[in-house]
Amino acid sequence: MDDRARPGLTVEPRASLSLADYRRRVADLYEEVRASDPQNGWLLWRAGRDELFHTHPQSPIPQDSRAAFGGLAYYDYDPALRFVVEVQPATGGRVALPHSGDGTTPGRAIGTATVTIEGRRITVTLFRLEQYGDALFLPFRDATAGTETYGGGRYLLDSAKGADLGGSEAEIVLDFNFAYHPSCVHDPRWSCPLAPPESRLSVAIRAGERLEAS
């Protein structure tokens, strides 16, 4: 989520134009997802991400590893993990989201949404990222973190990068089948914001992107 040019893309204007193109393609992909039924949209999303990761200059996969890239690993699609829920006001206020490397990302907790997973009610927090044009951001860390998924957690929404599953003025679509890893999972040279304490969940959410099975 760092806006610096990827290694090898340091010359302007190519670096910025390439990054803009990547974000545009991600936004177009999510537009296709919102126009599709959930499971077909998920298949489109998987294929689109694999294509971007394999071929685009701004891929999170290091350039010397792209030829061997065979696609991202995912859990099977689970329709029970898609929700359309009301967002309630949050009381947490300003936060400094921790990073996988140096630095923090300033934001504000603006709302919470409660869903039921495996019979347990869990609440996730939505943040507004002040340095990214007040983008909506939803990171989370669940009980699979550190074994089946990245220890720092995953992202579900990031409107600054076009990752938006839809909703309305009062509701939001939370489909955990679209959870994905931050870029630092694929290249540790990146410093990515991680889930803060209020976004760490005790339930295991086996949906979305996962680590390769060992």
Condensed to tens digits (0 to 9), the pLDDT of residues 62-114 reads: 989 998 999 999 999 999 999 999 999 998 788 899 899 888 889 999 999 99
For residue 49, pLDDT over 70 is answered with yes
Q: Is pLDDT above 60 for 4?
A: no
pLDDT at site 7: 47
**pLDDT higher than threshold 80 for residue 213:** no
Q: Which pLDDT tens digit goes with each residue over 162-174?
A: 999 999 998 999 9
Q: What is the pLDDT of residue 31?
A: 97
pLDDT of residue 2: 42
**Predicted local distance difference test score (pLDDT) of residue 84:** 97
pLDDT band at residue 9 under the 50/70/90 scheme: low
Q: What is the mean pLDDT of residues 27-39?
A: 97
pLDDT at 3: 42
The token duo for 165 is: 């599953």
The mean pLDDT of the chain is 90
Q: Indicate the range of 69-83, 152-166, 180-194 predicted with least confidence.
A: 180-194
Verify cis geometry, omega within 30 degrees of 0, for the bond prior to 13. Answer: yes
Tens of pLDDT, residue by residue over 103-142, are 888 999 999 999 999 999 999 999 999 877 778 999 999 9
What integer pLDDT is reported at residue 190 of this predicted model? 84
pLDDT at 197 over 70: yes
pLDDT-wise least confident of 23-32, 91-100, 106-115, 191-200: 91-100
- What is the arithmetic mean of pLDDT over 35-43? 97
